[in-house]
Homo-oligomer: A and B are copies of this chain.
């Protein structure tokens, strides 16, 4: 019975670990978040150690990452030197945080390179047919990135409404 619940929890934890790995995050992150998400109250680092099976070091670094992403929050309690953590339960907020996090990444830097390259090419003469071809292709790519960018921006700004609003709108569209 209680054993049964424990089994389900364990299942959930390993499942979320895999999801985490799938999206390019450390699996430990997924495990830690899973444990916190299924816990009614905040947990200390040591409790995370026992419940995840990871070592203090791993917990320490992963917890930092999760905090930076806004997926968990530190909740230090007065008169207690321990740090306590709890999971963010508003996933939409978490998604927005993650999207913003990724803005200053290799990705956007590379996109910026494309933009600059295109600007330079377009300003020069493009009587050269090969050059004209390049301009055409890069422009299509840039337009695509711009669209993605707007999409991310829009989602990032959806403060009160959740993703379900977007879903509804999209359903109306077709």
Q: Which A residues are within 8 Å of any B CB, using their own CB?
A: 5, 8-9, 11-12, 15-16, 18-19, 21-24, 37-38, 40, 89, 91-92, 105-107, 110-111, 113-114, 117, 120-121, 130-131, 133-134, 137-138, 140-141, 143-144, 147-148, 150-151, 154-155, 157-158, 161-167, 169-171, 173-174
Contacts and interface: CB of A to CB of B under 8 A. Distances in A.
Give how many copies assemble into the complex.
2
Contacts of A19: 106-107, 110-111
A147 B167 contact: yes
| In the complex, the 8 A-B pairs of residues with the closest C-beta atoms, listed nearest first | A154-B170, A150-B167, A15-B110, A91-B144, A147-B163, A147-B164, A22-B107, A19-B110
Contact of A40 (B92, B105, B133): B133
A133 B89 CA distance: 13
27 contacts: A5-B134, A8-B120, A11-B113, A12-B113, A15-B110, A16-B110, A18-B110, A19-B110, A19-B111, A21-B106, A24-B24, A38-B137, A40-B130, A40-B133, A89-B137, A89-B140, A91-B141, A91-B144, A147-B164, A147-B167, A150-B167, A151-B163, A151-B166, A151-B170, A154-B167, A154-B170, A158-B174
